[in-house]
Structure 1
Amino acid sequence: MSNCKLSVNINKIATLRNSRGGNNPDLVKVALDCERFGAQGITVHPRPDERHIRYQDVFDLKGQIDTEFNIEGNCQEQKFVDLVLANRPAQVTLVPDAQGQITSNHGWDTVKHQNYLQDIIATFKEAGIRVSIFVDPNVEMVEAAKTTGTDRIELYTESYATNYLHDKEKAIAPYIAAAEKAKALDIGLNAGHDLDLNNLKYFAENIPGLLEVSIGHALICDALYLGLENTIQRYLYQLK
């Protein structure tokens, strides 16, 4: 657990900025402050309509942040591919979003899309970018992810978060199985979606080989009450 990094997704900061125009809050300043408060990575998820992160934001952030920069999004959009290749972040996370999707809601079918994923992953890796792909907690999907050439997978944790309060052992069981398979196949392991201060510690304690969690919505909501610095410190504490 001590090796698991916290990457803060700053999409919601961009949403707030965009709601009034101008540059308040300043996205780059917030990202730098997140680093100063202890975040070990910054995540952005630009979408074609630029309703939160704008493409220019990616260029602005790349030149400023010192921690790991993770750009996630739909690689079936050529504009996204071009954006990532132009900025060469530490990591790109490939998510099978549909047009106009409010938030990510499923992982890749790594069997059905095997050939496509092999090609696009090779494109990014040739540019020196570490690749992670969004995957549901399904052992078959993890096994097929291995042959795509990806460096890591990111387990989509929405079902864990939804069921945590009802039966946390049952909720986490498929994630443990997926993580153990990833470890056996020597695939790096990330996780994200709806992880929060209530469910993060249990998840991190029970998932072997967890390298990174990416958290945005819940963290920013908590920051409204707790303050951004205090919130980041509390999330880091859950990973200790």
Structure 2
Amino acid sequence: MRVALFVPCYVDQFYPAVAIATLELLEQLGCQVVVPRNQTCCGQPMANSGFAREAAGCDQNFRQNFGEFDHIVCPSGSCVLHVREHNPLLTGQVWELCEFLTDVLQVRALPHRSGRPLRIGIHQSCHGQRGLRLSSMSERNEPYFSKMEALLKLVDGIDITTPARPDECCGFGGTFCVTQEALSVKMGKDRLAQHQANQVDYIVGGDMSCLMHLEGILRRQQSPIQVRHVAQLLVDHAL
């Protein structure tokens, strides 16, 4: 299967290892991966700040770079949701990584790689959960599910813990963390306290934007807990 890798700008600038892990994961699962060289920001920061019209150039550039591909995969739910809402012609082609693995490739097993046992906490990002339906929502009367957790359960040696409020926002919220800094930090501290109570080694998520926010607080607290994108964990401990 030939797929295009859509790399969010903040991943490209701050967490390139996540893009590399995503590429390696897709290739090891049998995909031929193409990385369009002229891709830039998808325009989400402008659109979320009320300037969607000014992001039209980003939307056009995205179509020019990715329009020829049947499948476009991205390791960020928030960026995928933005593209689906602002590039409706590409909606059926753009996938968040976990949903692509579970729904398109239908990954049901992963090779075992021995390693030390890990105790992790899963962070369900709001855009992925409520916008893309990557996991169930506690406010709805529905059976529990999480596409990211389903993938992580395929890896031996991982102990998955559940925070007291499993789908609470971390406080990042894109530009929210800039305009409402104090509230954003307090929400992040509350989110971390629940994972810290579970004594996790890693907090694992599908959006490095949320994990970046939590990582900043962890560093200031001098906490030994690390953050990890799900692609990195799967490459390091399964494939």
Q: Which has the higher strand share?
A: 1
TM-score, normalised to structure 1, is 0.37
TM-score, normalised to structure 2, is 0.37
